[in-house]
Structure 1
């Protein structure tokens, strides 16, 4: 059903979505607006997407929700021994094979690779000090500012 005001929100939304998908390198092969509907705004069909496109879209949506790196930045894949922050548990652990070994007392755990990132420097220093002093992270004072260079 045509919009009496002359504006076409379905077409505008469709073009905007195609633009964003194209910026992500996703080219939907069968995308279209379903003008045959009786609804006030026509549904937008994006067609079939391959697994790589869905994963790319997933990363972009997570980034928009501030859960991951910005689009276009490859996901961080840590190496054995590297300290990472698990966003699901808010815990910092060192990578040991497929597990994270906590820097403070606790049991190793598995983490979703899409939910880890590098911890902030101050938080990492406090976690490492907690391991050395056997104190909980919350009781370790923040490191003085200006002593560590980037």
Structure 2
């Protein structure tokens, strides 16, 4: 059995080193997202996988046997865009917020924002809050084993 850490786990990297990946105006935006996530979760940030700033923690286990752990809310600042990790299918769950949000791109569980300029901050905050609530409802916040939806 391997004794190596899973890729998606807390790391020793500093918050500052991850924030430094965003430069110029994106740096201030990354700090704004960090504060928003901190306020919503009540948790201090921790770097996951050496590049993702996460808040809180939960453990998941799917019927397929796949399991792991992850942060309740998280984002990765970058030189070209901010990646915010949300609950799966968030666009389908909250089309009202997506319509209000402003310029963005999205995938199944990631929201990509080139800049926060033109983004409705209240819509972003509500999206983060709803994702956090949904994650807590599905998986809880403890590291006890749980069985939830399959993906």
Larger strand share, 1 or 2: 2
Larger radius of gyration: 1
TM-score of the two chains, using structure 2 as the length reference:
0.24
TM-score of the two chains, using structure 1 as the length reference:
0.24
